Amino acid sequence: MTPAQSIPPKISRQPSLGFFAAAIFGTAILGTGAMIFFFNPSTHKFYPICLFHAVTGLNCPGCGATRSFYALLHGHFQLALKDNALFVFTLAAAAIRGAWFAQRKILRKPTGQFISPKMLWLLLIIGGIFAALRNLPAFAFLSP
């Protein structure tokens, strides 16, 4: 029988850089979400303006995302899709990926990176196409 004082202490696990990044990101998302939930972006003026929109008059791929998020949080899916369809789909994809990722982490299976470089390039290209389309007269329904 080993005396109690000769048991080594537990090894404290160092949280990784990714953990901190995720924590900061998550807090920011939650805070922003709460603010958007309580203050309608269509009627409150304190939200930051889109610089691209302000300078060019065109809609950037993110224009309408705040209103889209507000609509989503209040359960208006059609309005959310109309305000920014790309945002809704990206959010859905991120949620699915997040759930998969969390499940793998809990089961201690290898996960790889949360976002792969290929996905980022894809997102950039789709964002560009989306921006081009929503500013064309024929695809004006993509604009908020």
Partner 1 sequence: MYKIIGADGKEYGPITAEQLRQWIAQGRANAQTRTISENATEWKPLGALPEFANSFPAAVPPGFAPLLVGTVRKTNGFATGGMICGILSIVCCCGFPINIIGIILSLVALSQINRHPELYEGRGLAITGLILSVASILLFVVWLIISIASGNFNFNWNLNQFGQ
Out of 15, 18, 26, 98, name the contact with partner 1 by CB under 8 A. Answer: 18
What angle do helix axes 65-73 and 85-106 make, rounded to 10 degrees? 60
49 counts as binding partner 1 under rule CB under 8 A: yes
68 counts as binding partner 1 under rule CB under 8 A: no
Out of 33, 35, 53, 91, name the contact with partner 1 by CB under 8 A. Answer: 53
Are 97 and 111 in contact by the 8 Å Cβ rule? The answer is no
User: Distance between CA atoms of 143 and 135, rounded to whole angstroms?
Assistant: 7
Are 81 and 88 in contact by the 8 Å Cβ rule? The answer is yes
Residue ranges binding partner 1 (CB under 8 A)? 2, 6-13, 17-18, 21, 42, 47-55, 57, 59-62, 65-67, 108, 110, 113, 115-117, 120, 123-124, 127, 134-137, 140-141, 143-144
